[in-house]
Structure 1
Amino acid sequence: MSVPSIPEPVASFIVAVNNHDEQAFLDAFTKTGAVDDWGRTFTGRQQINAWSDREFIGSQGKLTVEEVDDKGARVAVIGDWRSNHANGRSKFVFDIEGDKLAKMTIREG
């Protein structure tokens, strides 16, 4: 199976996540960026970092991309998420602002 083409800044973000690079993960977001994890919203670097320490980078997560839907300012990625916190097929929707992520929304894939 071929890996779908992933546009920037989402591609670099996924590399940072899979490498467990907390700094690059946080730097991918705008200053007012947000994460919506199944209806729980975390806004700003401090909240995103606290959430990630428990459930994302801190849980040694890895995303294997299966599908990409590129709509320009909104990119949806469906893939297999594996971590010490949660596992399974998930959909990640990224709202892009310039070269940063304004929001990442996580739902069932």
Structure 2
Amino acid sequence: MSATPPPLPPVVRAFVDAANAQDTAAWLRTFAPDGAVDDWGRVFTGYEALRGWSDAEFIGAHVTLDVTEVSAGPDEGDVTVLAQVGGDGFNGPSHFAFTVREGLIALMRITA
């Protein structure tokens, strides 16, 4: 019997829910104003850059995220999510490492 993964921090749950709902505005609200996405070394910082990345490669590609594992990171506010990704772009398992500060995402890294 597998253990239940720890719960997602509320802002990470909102990130996943907004992505699955294809709701770009709600997805952007999960980020700090200077929040960033690191997509395999390509870094997009701030709302305008995040929207451009998402429109082309995330929500614009009809992403779906089915969270299968959650693990705490080394620092408080850090969490890594393993999700099965679907949509019109990459499909398969991927890790999303979140740095949460003051209730918002400061950084989301896609690692593997």
Alignment TM-score > 0.5, same fold = yes
- Deviation string 1:22-67 (CA, Å, 9 cap, x unpaired) is 0010111000000000111001100110000010011110010010
- Deviation string 1:53-107 (CA, Å, 9 cap, x unpaired) is 0100111100100100124310100010111011111000000011100010001
Q: TM-score normalized by structure 2?
A: 0.90
Counterparts of residues 12-51 of structure 1 (less than 5 Å): 12-51=14-53
For 1:93, the equivalent position in structure 2 comes to 97
Q: 1:3: Cα distance to partner?
A: 6.3
Give unpaired runs (5+ residues) of structure 2.
Answer: none
Percent identity of equivalent pairs? 39
Q: Is the 8 A contact 1:32 1:43 kept in 2?
A: yes
Pair 1:78-2:77 in alignment: no
For 1:67, the equivalent position in structure 2 comes to 69
User: How many aligned residue pairs are there?
Assistant: 108
Q: TM-score normalized by structure 1?
A: 0.93
Give unpaired runs (5+ residues) of structure 1.
Answer: none
For 2:107, the equivalent position in structure 1 comes to 103
Which stretches of structure 1, 4 residues or more, deviate above 4 A after TM superposition? none
CA RMSD, 1 decimal: 1.4
